[in-house]
Amino acid sequence: MQYTVHFPGGQTDYYPSASTQDLLQLAPIEHTIIISDNNVAMHYGELFKGYKTIVVSAGDQSKTLETISALAKQIAEFEAHKTTRIIGFGGGMICDLSGFLASIYMRGIEFGFMPTTLLAMVDAAIGGKNGVNIGLNKNMLGTIKQPKFIATNPAFLNTLPSQEWSNGFAEIIKYACIADEPLWHQLRTQNLIGFQKDATLLSNIIHQCVQHKNRIVLADEQENNIRKSLNFGHTAGHAFETIYRLQHGQAVGLGMIVALIASEQNLDFPVHIRPLLINMLHQYGLPSTIDFNVEKVMHTLKLDKKRSNETIDFILLESIGKAKIHPLTFSEINRALQTFFDEGNR
């Protein structure tokens, strides 16, 4: 069933159970350019027949200005104009790339997403953030511009590797921690296989996460306040992801543990919750320890775009389902990281 969300920066039409045939209606061949990656094209290339299509290499290494420059040249060769629509057909990286490209090409043309990963369905495709990395700096260049539509087909998940399922559940766990205590309890009683086998249960949880993100983005599209809560686990997580080449979900899970330690140290968050989070990460195929260098992680964190002078806005928890934006000094961040390192290497 279609519905529309009216963001301050533009409306997005949602198609939660789109069929592959809907692509033709949402994106007429004569006015559309599809951007995808080689993994997605291997499974769904048949759907691209007749479309002007650009396929990039899968992986975060493609999320660069160099790729954007090459894509811009290619769509110019396709004679893209103001009424051309860019479709990002893939996971979070493709959503970021195609949304950013469309946002800046000719000062902005329409774009839509057909997310093919769980992570993109519950998080990356939603909310209008589009961007690329600069070296070790995640998403340092970007825009906030809403897609014209997001068409989700849960059948795409049938070809998803197990690690990509885990990546998506890291974001689902994030929503439970910052905004939904009942979801926290539901996740504790389920596991990855249970959701994979129950299409209704999976569709319901995807819808819950989309509603949470839309509610938060509607309240703060430009990320001046409450939208920052969506960064729970991502501050330290991005550093782990960049330095140690982890999957996004793996890194975010580790970052959530660091955030819980910082919550214990700075907000008197109850210490008995952290083992529950660690067990939950294991239930969904995510690691809870990493051998890392505290100084290297701190160096990367000091380049974080959320830095303000000698502090970084961390998202901590007051309780499960209740997040708080809390500036931490570098000393406080170092303390949390050192605790995480020491406890993981006992």
Count of domains for the chain: 2
CA angle 17, 19, 21 (to 5 degrees): 155
User: Is 282 an active-site residue?
Assistant: no
Point out the catalytic residue in the list 191, 214, 223, 266.
Answer: 223
* Domain final residue pick, 159, 182, 205: 159
Q: Are residues 57 and 74 in the same domain?
A: yes
Which residues, in sequence order, are bridge partners of residue 88?
A: 35, 113
List the pLDDT tens digit at each of the 346 positions of the chain. Answer: 789 999 999 999 999 988 877 877 899 999 999 999 999 999 999 999 999 999 999 999 999 999 999 999 999 999 999 999 999 999 999 999 999 999 999 999 999 999 999 999 999 999 999 999 998 788 889 999 999 999 999 899 999 999 999 999 999 999 999 999 999 999 999 999 999 999 999 999 999 999 999 999 999 999 999 999 999 999 999 999 999 999 999 999 999 999 999 999 999 999 999 999 999 999 999 999 999 999 999 999 988 888 888 899 999 999 999 999 999 999 999 999 999 999 986 6
| Both tokens assigned to 192 | 């990855």
In the 3-class helix/strand/coil scheme, how is the chain assigned residue by residue? CCEEEEECCEEEEEECCCCCCHHHHHCCHHHEEEEEEHHHHHHHHHHHCCCEEEEECCCHHHCCHHHHHHHHHHHHHCCCCCCCEEEEEECHHHHHHHHHHHHHHHHCCCEEEEECCHHHHHHHCCCCEEEEEECCEEEEEEEECCCCEEECCHHHHHHCCHHHHHHHHHHHHHHHHHHCHHHHHHHHHCCHHHHHHCHHHHHHHHHHHHHHHHHHHHHCCCCCCHHHHHHCCHHHHHHHHHHHCCCHHHHHHHHHHHHHHHHHHHHCCCCCHHHHHHHHHHHCCCCCCCCCCHHHHHHHHCCCCCEECCEEEEEEEEECCEEEEEEEEHHHHHHHHHHHHHHHCC
Expressed as residue numbers, the domain containing 220 is 166-344
pLDDT score of 346: 61
pLDDT attached to residue 307: 85
CA distances (Å), origin 345, targets 228, 285, 334: 31, 20, 16
The CATH number for 59's domain is: 3.40.50.1970
CB-based contact 295:260 (threshold 8 Å): no
Same domain for 266 and 141? no
Residue 88, φ and ψ in degrees, nearest 5: -85, 110
Whether 73 is catalytic is no
Cα–chain center distance at 133? 14
Residues 115 and 261 in one domain: no
Choosing from 231, 241, 306, 326, which is the catalytic residue? 231
Backbone φ and ψ of 149, nearest 5°:
-150, 160
Q: Is residue 99 domain-shared with residue 219, that is, in the same domain?
A: no
Report strand pairing: 307-308 vs 311-319: antiparallel
Residue of 107, 197, 272, 346 marked active site: 107
- Residue that terminates a domain, selected from 159, 186, 212: 159
Q: Cβ–Cβ contacts within 10 Å for residue 140, how many?
A: 15
Looking at the fold, whether 138 and 239 belong to one and the same domain comes out as: no
Which residue out of 145, 174, 213, 274 is catalytically annotated?
A: 213
Indicate whether 114 and 195 sit together in one domain: no
Residue 241 is among the residues annotated as catalytic for this protein: no
Q: pTM of the prediction?
A: 0.95
Q: Are 247 and 267 within one domain?
A: yes
| Residue that is last in its domain, among 126, 159, 192 | 159
The CATH number linked to 262 is: 1.20.1090.10
Q: What is the CA radius of gyration of the chain?
A: 20
Let me know whether 45 and 171 are in one domain.
Answer: no
Residue 346 annotated to the active site: no
- Which one from 129, 145, 212, 306 is the annotated catalytic residue? 129
Burial class (CB in 10 A: 0-12, 13-18, 19+), 246: middle
Residues 139 and 251 in one domain: no
Residues 141 and 178 in one domain: no
Alpha-carbon distances of 190 from 61, 88, 130, 187, 284, rounded to whole Å: 34, 32, 32, 5, 9
What is the pLDDT, as a whole number, of residue 308? 83
- Specify the pLDDT at position 136: 77
The pLDDT of residue 232 is 98
Residue 234 annotated to the active site: yes
Catalytic residue among 52, 145, 238, 274: 238
**One domain for residues 252 and 127:** no
Q: Is 213 a catalytic residue?
A: yes
Question: Which candidate in 52, 138, 174, 227 is catalytic?
Answer: 227
107 catalytic per annotation: yes
**Residues across the chain:** 346
Specify which residues 111 forms β-bridges with.
Answer: 86
Task: Judge if 184 and 122 occupy the same domain.
Answer: no
